Amino acid sequence: MANMKTPHDLNCLTISELEKLAAERMDKQTRDYYNEGADSGSTLLENISAYQKYRIRPRVLRDISSIDTSVSIFGHKNSIPLGVAPTAMQCLAHDDGELATARACKNMDIVMGLSSFSTTSLEDVKSELASHPGALQLYLFEDRPKSQKLIQRAKKAGYKAVMLTVDTPVLGRRNLEIRNQFTLPKHLKVANFARDEDDNEMVDVQEKDTPSTTTDQTNHHKPPQGPITFHTHAPNPTLCWDRDISWLKSQCGPEMQVWVKGIATAEDALIACHHDVDGIIVSNHGGRQLNGALATIDALPEVVAAVRSHTGRKVPVHVDGGIRHGTDVFKALALGADFVWVGRPILWG
């Protein structure tokens, strides 16, 4: 087979082999944090296995000697219909963390999504990306000024879009994370919240700002205060379509697109279209939030059908979760996705 390229490592030919090698090298706390799903992990596993239910009907004699796999995203011509999904705290896996991911995305000409809870600041990552496009994954905190500052920083740095995570009203139960009492090692930090840039001065993130979201006192809900961590601030039970999507669009302006990440039903897809979002990502947070939710590839067809039935402008539909093979990408596209995102395999690499 003269056209077969020699791989870099004959012991690592597949994503599953990459996962195994990564598991051998990572410490237990990091491995468990990256790889765990919520509760029993059935949704995490079904994200992967569900792809095997779908069979390909190949056409032949179609002359594929010259093909173009590129696709437009965020105004950029991406080399393939695949991007790097935002995943938190990448310096747990490698000292270069998000910077290494940015370099790889730039070299491969694919778009990068950056987690708000990155271990490298959004400015440093965008500097590494240079003119290459990036999107910032965003949680809308109850302490709204904190999110507002992050949006303004992303806009100033040149990010092309924000991906609002909408599947985290409460935090999924991750048993290994609880058992391990997961915390960042002392030499790492959640870089985007390590300082408050008001007046260009460093401010201790433990200052207690007054939350800007009105809460119902009858349910005894108290907004989080103190240091910003994923466990304390990412969950937000107060989010709603009418108030928060319009506010986010007003903050992003024409400079940054607004995408919603975490749509899994036709009903929510239509609501997203009515609120004029720029894109939808079918996602269940990698099975880390609600165990028992549909595998994303199973949720995809109804979301696509709903979006296509919408009479307004065309809203692109992307999908993430469980993609481990090139044929998985093909199946997602065949079922109506415009683009796919890959998360955990990047961490393993």
In-domain check, residue 148: yes
> What average pLDDT score do residues 13-38 get?
94
In-domain check, residue 4: no
Identify the weakest region by mean pLDDT among 100-104, 229-233, 269-273, 294-298.
Answer: 229-233
In-domain check, residue 7: no
Confidence of residue 229 (pLDDT cuts 50, 70, 90): confident
Confidence of residue 11 (pLDDT cuts 50, 70, 90): confident
pLDDT digits (tens, 9 = 90+) for 121-137: 999 999 999 999 999 99
Evaluate if residue 214 carries a pLDDT over 70.
no
Q: What is the CATH number of the domain that holds 94?
A: 3.20.20.70
Which parts are annotated binding residues for FMN? 86-88, 115, 137, 165, 261, 283, 320-324, 343-344
Backbone angles phi, psi at 266, to 5 degrees: -60, -40
In-domain check, residue 218: no
| pLDDT of res. 2 | 46
- SS3 of the chain: the string is CCCCCCCCCCCCCCHHHHHHHHHHHCCHHHHHHHHCCCCCCHHHHHHHHHHHHCCCCCCCCCCCCCCCCCEEECCEEECCCEEECCCCCHHHCCCCHHHHHHHHHHHHCCCEEECCCCCCCHHHHHHHHCCCCEEEEECCCCCHHHHHHHHHHHHHHCCCEEEEECCCCCCCCCHHHHHHCCCCCCCCCCHHHCCCCHHHCCCCCCCCCCCCCCCCHHHCCCCCCCCCCHHHHCCCCCCCHHHHHHHHHHHHCCCCEEEEEEECCHHHHHHHHHCCCCEEEECCHHHCCCCCCCCHHHHHHHHHHHHHHCCCCCCCEEEECCCCCHHHHHHHHHCCCCEEEECHHHHHC
In-domain check, residue 27: yes
pLDDT digits (tens, 9 = 90+) for 44-97: 999 999 999 999 999 999 999 999 999 999 989 999 999 999 999 999 999 999
Confidence of residue 208 (pLDDT cuts 50, 70, 90): very low
| pLDDT of res. 235 | 83
- Output the average pLDDT for the chain: 89
Evaluate if residue 224 carries a pLDDT over 90.
no
260 within 8 A of 167, measured Cβ to Cβ: no
Total domain count for the chain?
A: 1
Distant-in-sequence, close-in-space partners of 248: CB < 8 Å, separation ≥ 6: 138, 140, 151, 162, 164, 258
In-domain check, residue 321: yes
In-domain check, residue 89: yes
Parent domain of 156: 15-53+78-208+226-348
Catalytic residues: 285
| pLDDT of res. 221 | 66
Which parts are annotated binding residues for glyoxylate? 33, 139, 174, 285, 288
In this predicted model, which residue has the larger pLDDT, 196 or 324? 324
Evaluate if residue 198 carries a pLDDT over 70.
no
Evaluate if residue 330 carries a pLDDT over 80.
yes
pLDDT digits (tens, 9 = 90+) for 236-268: 899 999 999 999 999 999 999 999 999 999 999
Percent of the chain with pLDDT over 90: 78
pLDDT digits (tens, 9 = 90+) for 143-169: 899 999 999 999 999 999 999 999 998
In-domain check, residue 328: yes
